[in-house]
Amino acid sequence: MITVSTDGSCLRNPGGAIGWAWVNHDGTSASGGARSGTNQVAELTAVLEAVLAHPGDEPLRVVADSQYAIKCASEWLPGWRRKGWRTASGGPVQNLGLVQAIDRAIADRTGPVTFGWVRGHTGDRFNERADELAGAAARAARDGTLPAGTMRETPVLEAVGAAPVRRTRTATSTTARTSTTARTASRRTGTAPATRRDLPEPDALF
């Protein structure tokens, strides 16, 4: 199994420079940023970049300290898709372009993708390294010294309320210590991290 830790950084939320990073537990890593964004955009971008950077058949586990990013990429995503990219209350999904891009990246990947949560700033060396890289990328984006090509263009949004796109695979959310992969028909589903109280579905997050 490939295990990758991700993190995002926003120097001033919202609207400040952002950075994202992923760190493969084999030692490889990548980071990038943008001059303006939010902490949620940074966290979701880190997850997206991690999935896109690790194609193939081998199972991929993405570990993050953001429960928002984990739940967006797994627990909440299937329901949003079924509802035509609207929340349970009928409002539009926030950060929709990134959520849809993560959905596509997971569906297009041959191997399964699972997610785990780790508490930030508690000495996990991969999480700490991702945090350092994301912060450095955010500062470089602010100062105009970020290398070219380290931030993808904003993903294209599908129309809210459009017919859901059929998928063959979605992600499984797990705790930082446990990952469970289940198949129901051709779809993968899962449960949220069991170590924290469930978060409410976001209607108005940045």
Q: Give the active site residues.
A: 7-8, 43, 65, 121, 131
- Angle in degrees, CA 106, 111, 112, rounded to 5: 60
Distances (CA, A) of 205 to 40, 72, 79, 185: 8, 11, 17, 33
For the stretch 191-197, contacts whose Cβ atoms lie closer than 8 Å and that sit 24 or more positions apart, written own/partner, are 191/75, 192/67, 192/70, 192/71, 192/74, 192/75, 193/67, 193/70, 193/116, 193/117, 195/117, 196/67, 196/117
**CA dihedral sign of residues 115, 118, 120, 123:** negative
**Residue 93 structure tokens:** 């999904």
What span, in angstroms and rounded, lies between the C-alpha atoms of 31 and 96? Answer: 22
What span, in angstroms and rounded, lies between the C-alpha atoms of 12 and 71? Answer: 23
Q: Please name which of 199, 145, 4, 170 lies closest in space to residue 80, comparing C-alpha atoms.
A: 170
